[in-house]
Structure 1
C-alpha cells in the first residue's frame, strides 16, 4: 500500500469515528404496539400515534375496534390467522353497538387519512365486518370478511381507497360494498381513483356492489357462488354513476338463489349488471356459466334502475361471455349510446349483438 493510500485510509477512519462521515440520525419515532389474545386491541389503537403500527398475534379477539387516527397500520399475523369476532360492547363503543367488527371513521372536516388494515379475519358481526366512512387513501389488504349480517367490507364517503387480495364470503348482502353515502339520497361522487383488484367474493347475495360512484377501477377479481356477481348501481340523481372501468374479472357460476326485496326481484345467475350508469367500460372480462330466470339474470346485463334511470354511453367490448342464461349479453334498457363490440358470446337480447 502506498503512503498516499495509507494517508487516505487514516483520514477516512478518522471521519467515521468522529461521526463526520456517518449518516445523520433519523427523526423517525414510529412505534410498534404488540397485542396478544386476551389483551385489548382498542387500548393499543387508542395509544398509537400517526405513523405507528399495531400488530396482532395469531388468535381470536372478541371485540370491535374503532380507528380514528390517521396514518395508522393495523395488521395481524401473516402466518397464522388473526380473527376478530363479536364480543361484549362496552359503554360508548359505537362500533360494537352498531354491530360492526372494525370501523375506520373520520369526520366531514377531518377525514381519516392513510390507514392500512391487513391480514385480519372479521367474522360473524351483526352488521358489517369492516365499516369505513370519511376516509382518504384507506388500504385494505388480505382481509377476510365472512358470515357477517350485512356487508363484508363496506366503504362510504371515501376516496382514493385500495382494496386488494381480500376475501369476502357468505355475507348476507354484498361481500364488498362501496358507495357515495348510505344514509342520504344524493348524486354520484368522485372516488378519485379508488382501485378494487384481485379480490375473491363468494357465497354472498351480491359479490360486489358499486353504488353512486364515479372514477374507480374494478379489475382482476374473482366472483363465484353469489346470487349476483357485480352490480353497478345508479339512479336519477346528478351527477350520474359511471365513468369507471370493469376489466379482466373472472365471473363464473353465480347461481345461488336469493329472494326478492322491496327494491329488487329475486336474484340468481347474474354476472355484471349495470343499472342507471353512464360512460362505463366493461372490457376483457370472462363471464361464464351464470344461469337463472330473474329479470336480472345473464352474463352482462343493462337494466334500467328501479327508479327509472337509464344506462347511457356505456361500452361493452372484448369480453368472453358464454353459457349464461337467459342470455350472454342482455340490453333490457332503452338508454342511448350503449355499444357492444368484439365480445365472444352465443346468445344476446336483442339478437345480433354476438
Structure 2
C-alpha cells in the first residue's frame, strides 16, 4: 500500500499538478453571426448550439430568413445590433420564429435583446418550460406566448400586430414592465394558474380587452395606461387580481368583473364611454357599487390623445394620488418656465 502511494505521489510531482488544483475556468465568448460570412457563423441556430454557459451570441445587421429554438441551454445571451437593424423573418415551413425551451427540454437564464421578431403562422415568439427568461428591447410583430415558464421578465419591448393576442401566458409566472402593446385582438391574456404582474405598460388599440385574467390566474396591474381598446380589463373565471394606479380611459368599458372572480382596486383613473365598472353576464350590467372612493373619474388630460401622446398634462387630476406620484404608465410633462 505504501509503495502504491509513493508511486502516485511521484506521478503527481512529475505532472506539476496538486490534488487540490481545480480545472481552469473557460472564459465567456462572444460568437458573431453575420449573413455575409464575416462572423463565426451565418446560421443563428448553429451559433446558439455552439454556445456554452456564459457565452453571448451577437447578430450583425441583417434580415435573417431563419428560425431559432433555444433549449437545453443555461445562461446565454442573444443580442442583436438593434431593433431597427436586425430582423428574424422565420422560415416558410414553420409556425413561429423564435422558441425558448422545447418539450421536454427547457432553458434557464436566457437573455434576448436588440432585434425585431416577425410572426409566422400567427406566432412570433414562444417560451416553453423555461426559467429566468429576460426579453428586453425587442420589437415583436405578432403573438408572444408563454406556457409553464417561471421568472420571465419582459421589459421595454414593443409587441403588436397579432390577429389574436399580443402576450399570452398559461400556467406561468412573469413580469411585464415598460412595454408598448398595441393593435392586437386582445392585449394581454393571463390564463390557467399563472401569476403575472403588469407594471407601467401602455396597452392601446386592442380590438377587445386590453387585459383578460381568466381561469385560476392571479394578476397584479400597477400603474398601466390602457387606452383606445374595446375594453379595459376583464376579470373572469376564478381569477384573483389587484389593480391600482392605472389609467383606464377612452375604452368602451373600464373594468368587467365576473361574480366568480375576486378583485381589489384602488387609485385608478377611469374615463370610458359605456361604463367604468360592469358585471359580466348576458348582457353585461353596470356595477357602480364596485367604484372605490379613491378613484379619479373624468378626463385624465393627456397631452394629445388623438396623436397617441398619453403623457399627463401638468394640471391633470391623476397626479399625486395615494402612493403614486402619477397614475398610469407615463410621467407627466412639466410646466414650461416663463420666459422674460
TM-score w.r.t. length of structure 2: 0.72
Q: 2:49 aligns with which of 28, 46, 50?
A: 46
Which residue number in structure 2 is paired with residue 59 of structure 1? 62
Which residue number in structure 2 is paired with residue 85 of structure 1? 89
Task: Within 5 Å, give how 1:276-315 maps onto structure 2.
Answer: 276-291=237-252, 298-303=253-258, 310-311=260-261, 313-315=262-264
Which residue number in structure 2 is paired with residue 273 of structure 1? 234
Flag structure 2 segments of 5+ consecutive residues without an equivalent.
1-23, 37-41, 299-340
1:143–1:113 Cα change, 3 Å = same
Taking the aligned partners of 1:158 and 1:270, their CA distance within structure 2 comes to 27
- 1:329 CA drift (Å): 1.6
Secondary structure at the residue paired with 2:198? strand
- 1:279 CA drift (Å): 3.2
Post-superposition CA distance 1:189-213 (Å, at most 9, x none): xx45x21111101111011111123
Contact 1:315 1:339 in 2 (8 A): no
Secondary structure at the residue paired with 1:213? coil
Secondary structure at the residue paired with 2:275? coil
Contact 2:209 2:233 in 1 (8 A): yes
Q: 2:268 aligns with which of 293, 302, 319?
A: 319
Contact 2:69 2:102 in 1 (8 A): no
Flag structure 1 segments of 5+ consecutive residues without an equivalent.
1-25, 90-96, 181-190, 255-268, 292-297, 305-309, 347-354
1:162–1:60 Cα change, 3 Å = same
Pairs aligned (count): 264
TM-score w.r.t. length of structure 1: 0.69
Post-superposition CA distance 1:111-158 (Å, at most 9, x none): 311011111111141131111100101001111111x3xx2x111110
Confirm whether residue 164 of structure 1 aligns to residue 118 of structure 2.
no
Contact 1:103 1:131 in 2 (8 A): yes
Taking the aligned partners of 1:339 and 1:228, their CA distance within structure 2 comes to 22
Contact 1:315 1:340 in 2 (8 A): no
Deviation beyond 4 Å, 4+ runs, structure 1: none
1:49–1:203 Cα change, 3 Å = same
Taking the aligned partners of 1:286 and 1:177, their CA distance within structure 2 comes to 22
Confirm whether residue 113 of structure 1 aligns to residue 116 of structure 2.
no
Which residue number in structure 1 is paired with residue 195 of structure 2? 215
1:143–1:271 Cα change, 3 Å = same
Contact 1:200 1:221 in 2 (8 A): yes
Contact 1:214 1:241 in 2 (8 A): yes
Task: Within 5 Å, give how 1:215-254 maps onto structure 2.
Answer: 215-235=195-215, 240-242=216-218, 244-254=219-229
Secondary structure at the residue paired with 2:211? strand
Q: 1:100 aligns with which of 86, 93, 96?
A: 96
Confirm whether residue 30 of structure 1 aligns to residue 6 of structure 2.
no
Confirm whether residue 72 of structure 1 aligns to residue 76 of structure 2.
yes
Larger proportion of strand: 2
Post-superposition CA distance 1:265-309 (Å, at most 9, x none): xxxx21111111443111110011113xxxxxx0111136xxxxx
Contact 1:41 1:65 in 2 (8 A): yes
The root-mean-square deviation of aligned C-alpha atoms, in Å, is 2.4
